[in-house]
Structures are given as C-alpha cells and as structure tokens.
Chains A and B, each alone.
Chain A
C-alpha cells in the first residue's frame, strides 16, 4: 500500500534542475532505498519528503508530495507538523547541545506530548530502548550527549527522532560516518523498525541496499531511471543505465 506519493516533482536549484518530473509511490512499512551516483538528486528527492528543501535558499519546487493522500506542499500546511510526521537521520549525527535525556525529551517537550516527571522518564527510556541505546546509557542519562561515541550518537538521533512519533523515517546515508559495527547496529534497528514505520534511505553502498531494501529507486542525473521491488531492480534491472551503475560502470 502506498504511503508517500510523489507526483511530477521538479526541483530547481537556481539554474540547475536537480529533480526531473519524478513520479513515484513509496510503499508503507517497507524499506525503500534510493541509489545512484553522487549528484544524481537522491538527497534532494529525500528532502522533498519532509520539506527540507524549503531551507535551501534559491530552491524552486513544482509538483507535489502526498502523504496518506494529503499534499504536504499545499498552502496552509504546517511545516512543523510535516516534519514531526516525517523523521530524518542525517549523514553525521548531530546531538543537540544538551544531555542524553534532554535530547530525547526535546521533541516531546516542544510538541507538548508528555507531562513532566514520570511520564517523560518512561518515554525517554522507551525510545532509547527502541533505538538500542538504553543499556549503554541508562546510568548516565544526564551527561552531555556529545560525550557518546559517533555510533551511539547516531542511535541517540534515532531515538530522538522516534520520540516525536513519526510515521515515516528518512535516512540520508545514515551510516556513512560510522564504523562497521555501529553501521550494522543501525541497520539492524532499521530492519526492526520497518514493522511500524515507512523507511526511506539514501545510500551509495550497494551492499547496504541489498541487505536492507524491499523497494529500490535508481536515480541518475536528476531523473528516476528505474524503481521496483528490490530483487527485481538489483538482480534483473530493466534499464541499461541501472545495469551499468550496478556493475560499477557509472
């Protein structure tokens, strides 16, 4: 079942067309992986789904993105609500300048989702558990988040994102700054989370795409060349350019 529908999406950055007429349906509760060479528009496509392109001055967007059939670009849409619904993991973890506890509680507080005290404590524990970080930090919740290792920081960012109860998780090469064991840890979490969330990942690591993807989108020079179930696209690509990319030629 479709969760995110992208309809004739074009994105221009000044004179450069970063996305060309993208039409794509992203399935619910699966991991969709966007692959393609650098500069092909993978990240632009990803960031069109939580209105992060708005933050880049000089970007012009036409077309539409619908989540559960509702446009997120329609006039009057509250951007903060869109971003609450659609979480994002960045390439490198950026913990907020506060304690581990407050990093997770931050989103709950700004959205007034929990009362102070006990309820908040329980929620923080719950999301840290979901991100697989609780056991490592339960005795030092109030130390600055910056003291965690990079891998732990990325899981903290995951917990922080889960805390605002999104339906969709976006990941912009979320393991590329991590050492292999930490990357694997994040991958395991994502696989576990797809039961409850629709996950969209950008990656340039083909092996990662093979490990995680249920659905694959191949982008090249701003165009969506091919998309379909992972097995089909990765093992039996229909397009010449997809085949060339998978074989390392482009």
Chain B
C-alpha cells in the first residue's frame, strides 16, 4: 500500500513540474518580448514619436514620429473589427437560431474555420487582385475590407462556440413565453454571450492591428494621416518593418519604439475588454 501511494505521489510531482515548466515558458516568452521592446524602444519613445508624422529626413534619423501609423492602424483595425462584427453577428445568429446543426450550417462553420487558418498574406494578395480588377488604388477602405475578412472568422467562430454551449433550456424558457426565435436570439442568446463577444472582438482587433501582410498591398503606406476612406493609410506593423529594414541604427531603434506603441495599444484594448466583459457579464446565467 505504501508503495502504490508513493508512485502516485511521484506522478503528481511529475505533472506539477511539467505544469510549472509550461507556465515558465509562457511567462518568460512574454517577458522576453516585452523587455526587448521596452529596452530597445523606450529610450527613443519621445513625445514627438506619438504626436508627429514623419518630417523630411525622418527615415534617415531626423525628426518626426509615427503618428501617421498610429492613426492609420487604429482606423484600419477599428474599421475592420467593426465591419467584421456587423457581418458576423447575423452569421452567428443565423447559424444557431435557424440553421442549427444542418449540413448547411456545418458547411458554413467549416468555411469559417478554413478562413481562420488562411495566412494573412493570402488575404493581402486576394485584396490586391480584387483592387486591380476594380481599378482601385491602395486605400484605407481596401485595408479595412481585407482586415474585416481576416477578423470575421475569429469573431464568428468564437461566438458560435459560445452559443453552442448555452443550455437548450435557456432558449426554451424564452420560447415557453411565446417569444419568436428572433426575439430569443436578440434578447436572450446575444445577451448571454455578451461578455464572450467582447473577448472575441478583442481577439479580432488584436489580430487586425498586428497584421502587416494583409495591409501591405491593400492599404499601402503613407506619411500623411488619411483624411478619407480612399486615401492610403500607414500602419504600425509596416512602420516597424520599414524602419527595421533601414541601415541606420537610429531608425532601427525607432522601429522598436513603434513596436512598443503597438504593444501598449494591444495591452490597453485587452485590459479594456476585460473590464467590459466583466461589466457585461453581470447578467449572464451560469
């Protein structure tokens, strides 16, 4: 009896150690990334960096900032996320309220999964082809549309999975009062998944704002702040990429500062959505 017990204890210790190691890997990786960006980027992260657009000679190490890319990225990711959201909500409700587990619904789910797995450069190339065919130039609008396509499956599938685990009785409670499927979808189902929806939006926004490949051809790059949807728009990931590619150490350092700004934006959105999720989750039935 003693021996068995000790073998089980060793098992327990073994898996505890494994768990500890994986925790360490995760936190150390994050810490490593943050430290690199902070150490290299923070010294040159001046007020100018976030309040000015590139001035003459900026890319040679002279004055200016990346305000163009900050605003561009917020426009692109914000617009893309908004567009993805308003398209995915009807998709998700349609799937769960009307189509349910039909062959058609499962085909849509499979399509969304494949979209999720498609590399963003493919979206970029697709968007570019489409623009050429329509005779459009690189613009904020094109970037937003391509980002929306990239983010759509993230929001749709995340919320879809959440809705699928809602107990059937919750819906039935609403049907039992004489509610239609549509009323139930809006007032009960959507409300129940609201906190999860906030998290899904954050995930999608994070992927959108951090993506370089899809906006490279579609939104282009410019030193100006876009004033209309048809203007090209700069973005932070591309700002990092271009600056890192220059031979000047000052400019390379600014690439890290731009990366730091991007990281801070993602961090703030993440914290914001956490607060929002817990606020929205107060009515959620457990």
Residues of A within 8 A of B (CB): 50, 52, 55, 57, 80-84, 87-88, 90, 92, 94-99, 106-107, 110-111, 144-146, 157, 160-161, 163-164
Contacts and interface: CB of A to CB of B under 8 A. Distances in A.
B170 A110 contact: no
Given A80-B180, A92-B169, A97 B175 contact: no
B172 A55 contact: yes
B285 A87 contact: no
Interface string B213-224: 000000000000
Contacts of B270: none
Contact of B283 (A83, A98, A160): A98
Interface of B: 100, 167, 169-170, 172-180, 183, 187-188, 191-192, 282-286
Nearest to B192: A97
Contacts of B282: 144
A96 B178 contact: no
A50 B177 CA distance: 10
B167 A84 contact: no
B178 A90 contact: no
B30 to A, nearest CB: 33
B173 A164 contact: no
Contacts of A80: 178-180
- Nearest 10 CB-CB pairings of A with B: A84-B178, A88-B176, A107-B177, A83-B178, A80-B178, A97-B192, A94-B173, A97-B283, A144-B283, A97-B191
A176 B174 CA distance: 21
B75 to A, nearest CB: 34
B187 A106 contact: yes
Contacts of A161: 176-177
A94 B172 CA distance: 9
Given A97-B283, A98-B283, A90 B169 contact: yes
Given A90-B169, A106-B187, A110-B183, A96 B176 contact: no
Contacts of B167: 94
Nearest to B102: A57
A202 B188 CA distance: 27
A97 B284 contact: yes
B276 to A, nearest CB: 16
B284 A146 contact: yes
9 contacts: A80-B178, A90-B172, A92-B169, A94-B285, A97-B170, A106-B177, A106-B187, A144-B284, A164-B177
B178 A81 contact: yes
Contacts of A50: 176
A173 to B, nearest CB: 13
Contacts of B176: 50, 52, 83, 87-88, 90, 161
Nearest to B282: A144
A146 B178 contact: no
B178 A107 contact: yes
Contacts of A157: 173
Nearest to B189: A97
Given A90-B169, A96-B187, A110-B183, A83 B285 contact: no
Nearest to B180: A80
Contacts of A160: 173, 177
B285 A145 contact: yes
A48 to B, nearest CB: 14
> Which has the most chain B C-beta neighbours within 10 Å: A82, A90, A99?
A90
A57 B105 CA distance: 15
A198 B238 CA distance: 70
A95 B285 contact: yes
B173 A90 contact: yes
